[in-house]
Amino acid sequence: MTWKQNLPRTVLITGASAGIGEACARKFAAAGCKLILTGRRRERLEALAQELPTSCLVLCFDIRNEEDTLRELSDLPAGFAEVDVLVNNAGLALGLDRIPAGNPSHWQQMIDTNISGMIYATRAVLPGMVQRGRGHLIQLGSVAGTYPYPGGAVYAGTKAFVHQHALGMRSDLIGTPIRVTSIEPGAVETEFALVRFEGDKSRADAVYHGFRPLNGADIAESIFWAATAPAHVNINVLEIMPVAQAFGGFAFDRR
């Protein structure tokens, strides 16, 4: 019964049009939370909002745009203005080239989305949380933020930022009841690989071929658990991988 006593009333999910964000929307909606769903693909978000058994507000904007993000999330309509949980989930990886051959516009997009966009969303909702004495920031990091892999240097860097930023905010928010959690998944089968390989479906499918990856619902369960823990409990960092994923060790140049 504890989770019911700690159920948030209003949950804001960035990047709710697909994958982990969409799965979070389904999970929190099934428990009766009101939802604010954001992303760039309006049709997707509206179809999801129609389907969910709860009250939803759809907001379409590009999280890389500081002005739009602050405007949309700072001035929420009555009934949605008191955000209890921000699932700071919108994010992406682009490309898998090793750094000398990497694409600088890919790097910039990852930095602008995974770091800047996340900070803009936090900036918009955190002051209200502090004022109300109630709130939880849940950030989507990645195992890539801790364990590097070839071709992931910029993506991994953005996720290392997410991890350290979450811990830093815990330091800054001591003395308030605001909670901060970094959720750090391994391989989750979503649109992530399709986006990374810019629509190349066979390359994306190959990422998940031959083993059982996590799915969005697996991660949503963990996010829901962290969000509904008793108010005095803060889950700092949660690392979650498929059983079929592990570590490959160091590389050596033996020429």
**56 touches 80 (CB < 8 A):** no
Which of 95/185 has CB closer to ligand NAP? 185
Binding of ligand NAP by 7 (CB under 6 A):
no
Task: For ligand NAP, give the closer residue by CB, 13 or 134.
Answer: 13
Among positions 138-167, residues that touch ligand NAP (CB under 6 A) are 140, 142
Q: Within 12-31, which residues bind ligand NAP (CB under 6 A)?
A: 15-21
Q: What is the DSSP letter of 81?
A: S
Give how far Cα 90 sits from Cα of 140, 172, 211, 218, 243, Å: 8, 23, 26, 17, 25
Q: How far apart, in whole angstroms, are the C-alpha atoms of residue 198 and residue 163?
A: 26
Instruction: Give the three-state DSSP class for 88.
Output: strand
Q: Residues 212-251: x/- map of binding to ligand NAP (CB under 6 A)?
A: ----x-----------------------------------
Size of the chain in residues = 255
CB 184 within 8 A of CB 143: yes
Structure tokens of 15?
């990047």
What residues between 124 and 143 interact with ligand NAP by CB under 6 A?
140, 142
Is-catalytic flag, 155? yes
Q: Which of 12, 29, 39, 73 binds ligand NAP (CB under 6 A)?
A: 39
In whole angstroms, give the CA distance from residue 237 to residue 99: 28
Which of 185, 204, 228, 235 touches ligand NAP by CB under 6 A? Answer: 185
Please report the DSSP string for 94-114 in residue order. -----GGG--HHHHHHHIIII
Binder among 188, 223, 226, 227 for ligand NAP (CB under 6 A): 188
Closer of 163 and 170 to ligand NAP (Cβ): 163
At closest approach, how far in Å is the CB of 105 from ligand NAP? 13
CA-to-CA distance for 151 and 221, rounded, in angstroms?
A: 30
Smaller CB distance to ligand NAP: residue 73 or 178?
A: 73
- Distances from the Cα of 21 to the Cαs of 11, 71, 177, in angstroms? 11, 21, 25
Where in the sequence numbering do the catalytic residues fall?
155
Binding site for ligand NAP (CB under 6 A): 15-21, 39-41, 62-64, 89-92, 113, 140, 142, 185, 187-188, 190-192, 195, 216
